[in-house]
Structure 1
Amino acid sequence: MKVLIVDDDHLLADRVVRDLYEVGIEAEAFYSGEECIVSARRDRPSLILLDISMPGISGFETLRRLRYFPTLARTRVVAISSLADAASMFTIGSAGFDACVAKPIVMSEVLNQVYHQRGADSRP
């Protein structure tokens, strides 16, 4: 299983990658939507954690572009957002995100998304 963490906050993205690595999950950080798309097309990750608000193309636009490619259309994409009110959650879900992890990020929530993606696989 490979997880992409996409956030323009380098420290946050790198911390999540490090924490996932410590529990045996392969993860890689990217800092823009453009980098995410290139990597996702090449590596076909199992899960993408994608920040909503980034310079350049937003998380919403990145998701739209990812869904354009048939090989990525069913990839689970979880939004990372500091907006956690009901209206924002509705907008995020309506855009096609599979779930949302609120900022500040709590690693147990990230791990729940990873384990959800693994389905019946055992935890590391």
Structure 2
Amino acid sequence: MEERSQKVLYVEDNPLNMALMHHLFKKNLPDVLLLEAETGEHGIEMAKQQRPDLIILDIGLPGLNGFETLEHLRHGEYTRHVPVLAISAFAQLSDIAKARQAGFAGYVTKPIHVRTFTEIVLNLLAGGAGRFTGC
């Protein structure tokens, strides 16, 4: 198996959303390794161990929610500088503003628009800015 140069950690508790993301990465981002975690707590541990280039974090997680998980990541030695993209079904302007204020690199609403989402991920992986908008 060939080595993939970049890693993305997706933290999501919904198996259908996880399967969709796997399909999306396989089709549109085949050179990027997608790692997965089902809870914020597991995501924090995976991020410490795997040191991903980007974290995609669902807001509505059981246990630690996305905002709490982000707070923990920002205090970690190896995770504080990793861009974190929020993904959520919460689509109100106030939700997006709260994510921006919390320090997320971007905010994508579900259901996602595949082309726009792919562009955002590639931009963040290249060190660019995220977007705070619905896909």
TM-score by length of 2: 0.82
Q: Which residue of 2 aligns with 1:9?
A: 14
Q: Which residue of 1 aligns with 2:45?
A: 38
SS at match of 1:54: coil
2:54–2:125 CA contact under 8 A, matched in 1: no
Q: Equivalents in 1 of 2:57, 2:12: separation in Å?
A: 6
Q: Which residue of 1 aligns with 2:130?
A: none
Q: Which residue of 1 aligns with 2:132?
A: none
- TM-superposed CA distance for 1:112, in Å, is 1.5
Q: Equivalents in 1 of 2:82, 2:114: separation in Å?
A: 21
Q: Which residue of 1 aligns with 2:112?
A: 105
Aligned residue pairs, count = 120
Q: Which residue of 2 aligns with 1:84?
A: 91
Unaligned ranges ≥5, structure 1: none
SS at match of 2:70: helix
Q: Equivalents in 2 of 1:84, 1:73: separation in Å?
A: 26
- TM-superposed CA distance for 1:86, in Å, is 1.4
Does structure 1 residue 48 correspond to structure 2 residue 55? yes
Q: Equivalents in 2 of 1:65, 1:118: separation in Å?
A: 21
- TM-superposed CA distance for 1:29, in Å, is 2.0
Q: Deviations over 1:46-105 (max 9, x none)?
A: 111100011111000000001111221110100011122211111011111110110112
Does structure 1 residue 28 correspond to structure 2 residue 63? no
SS at match of 1:79: strand
SS at match of 1:114: helix
Q: Deviations over 1:100-120 (max 9, x none)?
A: 110112222321122112328
TM-score by length of 1: 0.89
Identity of aligned pairs, percent? 32
Alignment RMSD (CA, Å): 1.4
Specify the code of the residue in structure 1 equivalent to 2:11.
V
Q: Equivalents in 2 of 1:115, 1:13: separation in Å?
A: 19
